[in-house]
Structure 1
Amino acid sequence: MCRNKFIPLSVPNLKGNELAYVTEAVKTEWVSTAGPFIADFEHQIAEYVKVPGAAACQSGTAGLHLSLMALGVKAGDEVIVPTLTFIAAVNPIRYIGAEPIFMDCDDSLTMDAGKLKKFCENECEFRGETLFNKKTGKRVSAVIVVHIFGNLADMEQIISIAEMYHLKVLEDATEALGSYYLEGTYSGNYAGTIGTMGVYSFNGNKIITTGGGGMIVSQNPDLAERCRFLSTQAKKDSLYFVHEEVGFNYRMTNLQAAFGLAQLEQLEDFIKVKQKNYERYICQGVALLPFKENIRSNAWFYSYATKNRDGLIRFLDKHQVQSRPVWQLIHTLKPYRGCQAYQVEKAYQYYECIVNLPCSSNLSETDVDRVAELVKKFEKSDIGCL
């Protein structure tokens, strides 16, 4: 009976103080966008990733939207983004009336820094101190770097390119809370803390969750404070309801923050389990895509490359194991088909072959072994060899 149980792809692990902290929030009646747990959660996230400023918000998507505004990206600008990512990394660009330029990935699935440099060198030009796209005539103002599945992009090279071409760098670290560099210029620096601003997500499938929520971080506390201000309807005077600019209802609730504090207490344990299960898949003969050797990855999501992606997904589903393909490339989706995509090649290859396998932090060794056996059985079959 146990062998036939359903194994989900990625679900929350709620075995800590979640109920106790949420109950306290309810008992004190601080359940909305005010209350002590919010400030505590901001402080503890900032302390964990070693930054002076953090602002809790409604979602990772909201965090990216607010960050782009705080960085001064304007309507009519262009922002360089990866095409191999979740669409939430791209939509906020359109929220502010800007346009994305899509970049290819490298073998880490993160933005190809070499192509980013080539694009800036060959497809852009300076007008004074500002970079413009030769093809469109628009200002290129920022780069959104996405750390895919807990892997880290080549931030050393990307920051160097951004400084050379006067671009702001926004890190979408929604999948990489807890990942950091082990060597190089940014040794000891966490994902989200290297660019001008960074954003984390606490969606239900992330390494820690608040049910839904996000966090903006920055080495510049003024930028975090600017986002906090915008997230609370840009209220200049809280007594007399003075609003001098358009704001948003993007603040995290006290209930969510209470939940998040309990999750944060367990983060390092979650990472250890994810790393252990990642290694167990490999020991069981499943050649997962590697994380970079120069980082401590949070091992959030496991990626497996196969010749028959859809066949494997159907096979696992038949045996009560949930899996998924990687996202459809954003520049091929209807809302973004008219946007510029620069030398996208490798992203197509990975889109066609990647299957994400179960990776929850409460996944047992028995579960890992069962999934591994199913993957190997499929690959040895006539279907898997197609």
Structure 2
Amino acid sequence: MDHSSLFWLSLLSISTLGFVFTLFCLLKIYREQKRYLPLILLVVILFVEVVVQCLVKVFPSDMVHLLYVTEPFTMLQGALIFIYTKGYSQRSTKFEKVDLIFLIPFVLSILSYLPYYVLSSDEKLLDLATYGSFQADVGDSLWEWNFEIVLNSAYLFAALLQIQKYNFELKDSLSNIQKVDLHLTRYVIYSGLLVFCIEFIFVYLTFLGFPYSKMLFKILSISSFLVLIAICYDAIISHKYSKHIIHELDVNSDVVVESSGQVIKYAKSTLDQEASILLKCKLEQYMDSSKPYLIPQLRIKDLSDSLNVPLHHLSQVINEYFHQNFYEFINDYRVSDAKRLLMDSKYSDYTLSAIGFEVGFNSKSAFYNAFKKNVGVTPMKFKDQGYS
């Protein structure tokens, strides 16, 4: 057995183990939340692509009928990630009929490959002889390859926008979002964009006759396996922390969308100006006297319960009078308290992380980011230079 065959068989073995583990984890959480179905389909697609690729490389004559079978499915990868993130931002737990539109590129790709699928075995073997060459990979398929890269990259960028929308809504309800902001999902998407960038470069290097195109092809195959593992880890983590807070993200549901498309928040609110001013004063007094911001996992619901006011009224006052969302509002108080502790000699032995935890932040990074955003310098620089 040559080194090339050994590489592909090793990749097949490792990918199989990763696939079984990933599928088991995803199916387990799928029973609780149906929104993970797109990820299950994506993992299956990635695994089948690796399997077909390995089998064709190791047993070309016996597996020639598998050549190009998985090509149309590459048109679905970005779309499935987009549908998954859309499910989070819209709190949807299942496929919608409108999602069927994402099948159009997939169907068109199948139609474009039909002439090849009906070839005889001898004709496919002849085609296999040029598989991986300039003519087969670039000369005949350059338009398709570019379309696949552009299409999937567009879906991934759209998925990032969905995550951004989801995070904005989190900040209207939670004071700490690090464990539920889908940051791991963003990293998976960034890695996917990186893979497509590599593939794009690979296409044109092959076009220019780059001698190491086969090595790059192996790198792309390994990257598919790594994405599969990343998807599993991401789903497990995001599911663990997000399943309890999805129902709390409808704070600002009383909105009106005008014919021009402009969204007006609180258009249906029953809170008049006099009542909102009283609520603002009541909120400020409570924040100063009770210091609820010291609770790391403080939610706007907790604050509304303590003040005995409707949650959407509290959100409206924070947005309109302080020009902040709940996340920013609470962290302003935490940063102000942290500044006081950093200048207090009684806390001179505290580490910066300890100061952050003392005022309600639940991680070092959250404390540093909020402090730098509010004050303009890091906590260390603030302490060392004695800012007031």
TM-score range, shorter chain: under 0.3
Provide TM-score, normalisation by structure 2.
0.25
Provide TM-score, normalisation by structure 1.
0.25
Higher relative contact order (CA 8 A, sep 6+): 1
Higher strand share: 1
